[in-house]
Chain A
C-alpha cells in the first residue's frame, strides 16, 4: 500500500471529520437540550456558504467573507428560531420533522431565488491556496490543513465552553436533564435561542469553510444533515464529546472506505464483483455503522451522564 497516499486520505478524512463536527455539534446541542429534531440545520450550513461566497466575491477577500457571514448566519438562525422553531419545542418529534422539512423547502427555494440555480465557486486567497510538504515527503493542500486546524481549535474552544464555564454547565445540565434547568431559574427561552444561534453559526462556518473546495450548491445542506444525524446518534444525543469522536470516526471511515474498500474486497473476491460491491458498501458504510450502534448500543457511544 502506498503510504503517502494513505496519509493524504487519512488527512482528508480528518478534514471531513472536523467539518462534520462543526455541523453535528450544533445539532447535538439543540437535540440534547431542546429535544428538537431540526432537519433544517443543514440549511444553515448552506446559507452560511452562500452568504460568505457573495461577500467574498464582492469584497475580494475570503476572510472578510467569513467574518461577516458568521454574524449574518447567526441572524438568520435567530430569525428562524424566533418565528418557527420556538413554537416547536412543546411539540412531538413528528411535528419537528415536518415543520423543519418545510423550512428546508423554503430555504432551498429562497437561495435559488436570490443566488440562482447555479452554485458559486469561491476563490481562495493566494496564501491559502498552496501545498505544503509534510514530514515523510507527503504533499498536502494547505487549505485543507487550515480547515483541520480551525476545526480542532473550535472543538477545543467548545470543549472549554462546555466543561469550564457556567453557560456550559447549564448546557450540560440541560442535555442530561431538561427539567433541571428550569428548576435553576434560568431564562430558558433566552438560553434556547442562544444555543440555536450558536449552532447556526457553527453549521454556517462549516459551509463557509467547505465552499472553496466544493463550491456552494443548493441542496448541499441536505446531504450533510443526514450524515450529521448519523454522527450524533452514533456519538450519543446531547454529547459534545460523542459528536467529536463520532464525527472524526465517520469522516475517516467514509473517506478511507471509499478509497480502500475495493482493495480489501479484492483480497477475498474476484475483481469484477469487488468493483461493484465496494462502492455500494462504502456509500452505505456510515449507515451500517449507525444501524449497528442503534441495535446494540442505542444510547450511542458517549451518552450524556444521568440521562
Chain B
C-alpha cells in the first residue's frame, strides 16, 4: 500500500500472488516517483536559464514545504499524533536565522549575532528540539482531540510571543537583510539555494524512511494502531512518542531556517494556526504514512494555489471546496488514489 508496507512483504516470504501484487505497486509508485524527481531537477534549472524565475521560486517553496510536511508526516502519518501547532516550529526556525542576522547588523546580543549558516541551522534545530521537548512532554500526556488542541495552544502561544516582541518587528515581521553564509556556496544564487533545499529534502526523506522502518519506527507505528497492546508488551510508549515529536520538530525547524533564507522576510503570520492547518492538509492530501505523500501533497497544494489564484482572486473558495471534497471522497490521500486507479489496491 505504501512504500513502507510494500517492503514488508519482501522479506516475509508471502505467497507468489502477494509478491506479484507488490511488484505491480512498486512499479506504479516508482514511475510517479521518478517523474517527480526528474521534474524537481529539470524544471527549476530550465526555468532559471529560460529566465522564468517564478518557477524557480515556486519549486523552492515547494521543496521547503515538503521538508516540513515530511517532518509532520513522521508523527502524524506514522505515529498518529495529530499536531495542530507545527507552524510554530517553522516560525521558530525562521527566526533562528532572522534574529542572529538582525543582531549582527544592528549590534547587541553578541552571543548569537552572526551570519554563519552553521550557527543559524544548529540554532534553529536546537531551539525547536527544546521547544518540542517541553511542549511534547506536556502534550503527550493527553490523547485524541485534547492533543490536537494543546498543540494548537502551544502554537498560538509562540505566535503571540513573537507578535509581542517589538524589537524583532512584532506583528510587522522582520526583514532578513543577509542570508546565511557558508563556505564555498552562497544562498544568494537562486539555483544554489534551490539545490541546497532539494538535497536537504532528499536527506530528510531518506532519514525518515530509515527511521520509520527501523525498530523505533515499528514502535511508533504500533503506537498509532494499538497503544494499549504496546504497553502490554512492556514498551513505554510515551518515551518513543516524545522522541518522535522532538525529531519532527527539528525537521520543521530546519525547514523554517530554509524558509527564512528563501523569503528573506519573516513574520508571526507564518506561525498562525491556519498555517498549521495548511501543513496538515498537505500531509493528508498526499496521503498519510506514504514517504512521498507530503511531497505530492505540497506540490498539489502549491500548484492549486498558484493556478486558482491566477484564475480568480477568490481562489480560496474552490480551494476550500476541493479540500472538503478530498476529505469526503479521497480516503488515503492522493497516493492512495493513484494506487486505486492503478488497480493495485487490495481493499
A110 to B328, CA, bound (A): 21
- Residues on A with C-beta less than 8 A from B144 are 93
As a 0/1 sequence over residues 126 to 169 of chain B, the CB contacts with chain A under 8 angstroms (1 = contact) are 00000000000011011011101110111011001101111100
- Partner of B138 from the list A106, A276, A294 (CB cut-off 8 Å) is A294
Residue numbers in B under 8 Å from A294 (CB-CB): 138-139, 141-142, 146, 149-150, 153
Q: Mark contacts of A59-96 with chain B using CB atoms, 8 A cut-off: 1 yes-contact digit, 0 otherwise.
A: 00000000000000000000000001001100101110
**A291 contacts B320, CB within 8 Å?**
no
Q: Contacts A94-B284, A233-B149 known; A284 to B160 CB distance under 8 Å?
A: yes
- Does any Cβ of B come within 8 Å of A264's Cβ? no
- Cβ-based interface call for B324 (8 A): yes
Q: Is the CB of A291 within 8 A of B154?
A: yes
Structural contact, B327 and A99, CB atoms closer than 8 A: yes
Q: When the two chains form the complex, which single residue of A101, A276, A284, A291 contacts B150, counting CB atoms closer than 8 Å?
A: A291
Q: Which of the 9-residue segments B48-56, B63-71, B95-103, B274-282 touches chain A?
A: B274-282
**Residue in A95, A99, A113, A287 whose beta carbon sits within 8 Å of that of B317 in the complex:** A113
**B-contacting residues, A216-237, CB 8 Å:** 222, 226, 229-230, 233, 237
Chain B residues numbered 167-220 whose CB sits less than 8 Å from any CB in chain A: 167
Is there an interface contact between A97 and B323, defined as CB atoms closer than 8 Å?
Answer: no
Contact flag A97-B320 (CB < 8 Å), given A276-B165, A284-B160, A291-B154: no
Does the CB pair A237–B316 fall under 8 Å?
no
Contact A105–B320 (Cβ < 8 Å): yes
Which range contains the number of B residues in contact with the other chain?
35 or more
- Which B242-263 residues have C-beta < 8 A from chain A? none
Chain B residues near A233: list those with CB within 8 A.
Answer: 146, 149-150
Q: Is B310 close to A, CB under 8 A? A: no
Please, which residue of chain A has its CB at the minimum distance from the CB of B272? Answer: A222
- Whether A97 contacts B314 by the Cβ 8 Å rule is no
Which of A94, A95, A284 is within 8 Å of B161, CB to CB? A284
B223 contacts the other chain (CB 8 A): no
Residues of B within 8 A of A229 (CB): 149, 152
Chain A residues with CB below 8 A from B321, complex form: 102, 106
The interface residues of chain A lying within 8 Å CB-to-CB of B274 are 101, 104, 222
Which residue of chain A has the shortest Cβ distance to B327 in the bound complex? A99
Contact (Cβ within 8 A) B148 A37: yes
Contact A98 B314 (CB under 8 A): no
Q: How far is the CA of A36 from the CA of B241 in the complex (A)?
A: 25
* Distance in angstroms between the alpha carbons of A280 and B156 in the assembled complex: 11
Does B121 interact with chain A (Cβ within 8 Å)?
A: no
Q: Known: A226-B273, A298-B142. Contact between A105 and B316, CB under 8 A? A: yes
Write out the residue numbers on chain A whose beta carbons fall within 8 Å of the beta carbon of B316.
105-106, 108-109
Residue A288 at the B interface, CB < 8 A? yes
A37 adjacent to B317 (CB under 8 Å): no
Residue of B nearest to A225 (CB): B273
Please report whether the interface of chain B is mostly helix, strand, loop or mixed according to DSSP.
Answer: helix
Chain B positions within 8 Å of A226 at CB level: 152, 156, 273
Q: How far is the CB of B164 from chain A (nearest CB, A)?
A: 4
CB distance from B200 to the nearest CB of A (A): 27
| Given the contacts A37-B145, A99-B328, A283-B164, A109 and B320 also touching, CB distance less than 8 Å | yes
Nearest opposing residue in chain B for A99, CB measure: B327
A105 is contacted by which of B156, B166, B317 (Cβ under 8 Å)?
A: B317
Bound-state CA distance A91–B153 (Å) is 24
User: In the complex, what distance in Å separates the CA atom of A94 from the CA atom of B151?
Assistant: 14
Of all chain B residues, the one with the shortest Cβ separation from A222 is: B274
Interchain nearest-CB distance for A169 vs B (Å): 25
Instruction: Please indicate the chain A residues that have their CB under 8 angstroms from the CB of B84 in the complex.
Output: 97
CA–CA, A108 and B317, complex, Å:
8
Are A98 and B138 in contact, CB atoms less than 8 angstroms apart? no
Most chain A Cβ neighbours within 10 Å, of B166, B280, B317: B317
A162 to chain B: closest CB distance in Å? Answer: 22
Asked if B82 lies at the interface with its beta carbon under 8 angstroms from chain A, I say yes
User: Would you call B240 an interface residue if the criterion is a C-beta within 8 Å of the partner chain's C-beta atoms?
Assistant: no
User: Which residues of chain B are within 8 angstroms of A276 by Cβ–Cβ distance?
Assistant: 164-167
> Cα distance A95–B328 when bound, in Å?
8
A103 at interface, CB cutoff 8 A:
yes
**Chain A neighbourhood of B148, CB < 8 A:** 37, 93, 97
How long is the Cα–Cα vector from A87 to B328 in the complex, in angstroms?
7
User: Within 8 Å of chain B (Cβ to Cβ): is A18?
Assistant: no
Contact A98 B323 (CB under 8 A): yes
B93 CB to nearest chain A CB (Å): 20
Write the nearest CB–CB distance from B285 to chain A, whole angstroms.
9
Give Cα A16–Cα B327 distance, bound, in whole angstroms.
Answer: 35
CA distance A222 to B159 in the complex (A): 15
Determine how close the nearest CB of chain A comes to the CB of B244; give it in whole angstroms: 17
Q: Taking the complex as formed, is B265 at the interface, i.e. its CB lies under 8 A from any CB of chain A? A: no
What would be 14 A-B contacts, judged by CB atoms less than 8 Å apart?
A31-B145, A88-B328, A91-B327, A106-B320, A226-B273, A229-B152, A280-B164, A284-B157, A287-B153, A287-B154, A287-B160, A294-B139, A294-B150, A294-B153
Q: Ordered nearest first, which 6 A-B pairs have the shortest CB separation?
A: A105-B320, A102-B323, A280-B164, A283-B160, A106-B320, A109-B317
Residues of chain B at the chain A interface (Cβ within 8 Å): 76, 82, 84, 138-139, 141-142, 144-146, 148-150, 152-154, 156-157, 160-161, 163-167, 273-274, 277, 280-281, 284, 314, 316-317, 319-324, 327-328
What would 9 more interface pairs be, CB under 8 Å, given A226-B273, A229-B152? A93-B148, A101-B277, A101-B281, A105-B319, A106-B321, A109-B316, A110-B317, A295-B141, A298-B142
